[in-house]
Amino acid sequence: MKHPDEQNSAILPGLKPVLELLERDPSRIDSLILKKGLRTRETDRMLDICRTHGIRFSLVENPALDRLCPPHKDSQHRTAHQGVIARLTHTAFTETHILLENTPSAPLPLLLAFDQIQDAGNTGTLARTLCALGGGGIILPKHNSAYLGAAASRSAAGALERLPVSRVPNLGHALDAAEEAGYTIYGAAATPQSHDAYTEEWQFPAVLVLGNENKGLRPGIMKRCSRIVRIPMPGGFDSLNVAQAGAILMGLCARYQQQNTKS
């Protein structure tokens, strides 16, 4: 079950308010929910903006909208969704090129890239760890990523408000841009060709790519990684939670960076 503020505080109902926000700042909108069969000049404009900016939208029956934005008991103060609800993100986004320009000067010149990590708790925890270690920011795809709403914000404990986040339409292209900008692309995966993360001579600035909780890195993303690293686990486990694995790898990066900065 979703936490109440995940359902209510992060939504914007109504034709005019949603269209105004779409036209003014589409990056604030995570997804759009429209009533099936509703066709107006405003909704046509909304869908055009969604397609232009890669914003997800879905068409649902009216009861689904009522569950997200229920009628007020006092009908005079009812907030009507008018067949349209926008789901808002709690995070302001940064252009990828700005992230790539600024990260080399960060205390830890490391970016995290999330390849379809879908658990908000994992996303928030990874952001909190990266922020604490002085990392540069996060890159995540617009589609099939965790919703950066209240649950992610709680796990991040303020990190998502402090850490630059870039949301991209194509993660592979973003990694290509990072490589062209001089970044070393590391992927986290246990394969026969993986390198031991404990003995890795990390090269900075770097991007560390972490994969989906169940499927790991997609093949198209893995082939863009210059180095694949794994965490040795002599205790008998074959995998870790992505937030745990990410924390270990970030800690190793920070330790290596500090040692080499001092020497």
Q: How far is CA 2 from the centre of its chain?
A: 19
Give the pLDDT confidence of 83-93 residue by residue, as tens digits: 999 888 767 78
What is the CATH number that goes with domain 96-262?
Answer: 3.40.1280.10
The residue among 222, 215, 165, 155 whose CA lies nearest residue 194 is 222
Residue 229 vs residues 167, 190, 240, 254, 261: alpha-carbon distances, Å: 24, 7, 14, 15, 22
Would you call 129 exposed, middle or buried from its count of C-beta atoms within 10 A (0-12, 13-18, 19+)? buried
Partners of 34 in beta bridges: 59, 84
**Interatomic CA distance for residues 169 and 160, integer angstroms:** 20
Q: Does residue 51 surpass a pLDDT of 50?
A: yes
Token pair for 64: 């689904």
Domain boundaries, given as residue ranges, for the chain: 4-88, 96-262
H or E segment and range at residue 59:
strand 56-60
Give the pLDDT confidence of 139-166 residue by residue, as tens digits: 999 888 887 777 787 888 888 888 999 9
Q: How far is CA 11 from the centre of its chain?
A: 18
pLDDT at 6: 43
The CATH number of domain 4-88 is 3.10.150.10: no
Q: Report, as an integer, the average pLDDT of 93-114.
A: 95
pLDDT at 72: 58
Residue type, 175: L
pLDDT at 77: 44
pLDDT at 1: 35
Q: Does residue 66 surpass a pLDDT of 90?
A: no
- Regarding pTM above 0.85, the answer is no
Q: Does residue 218 surpass a pLDDT of 90?
A: yes
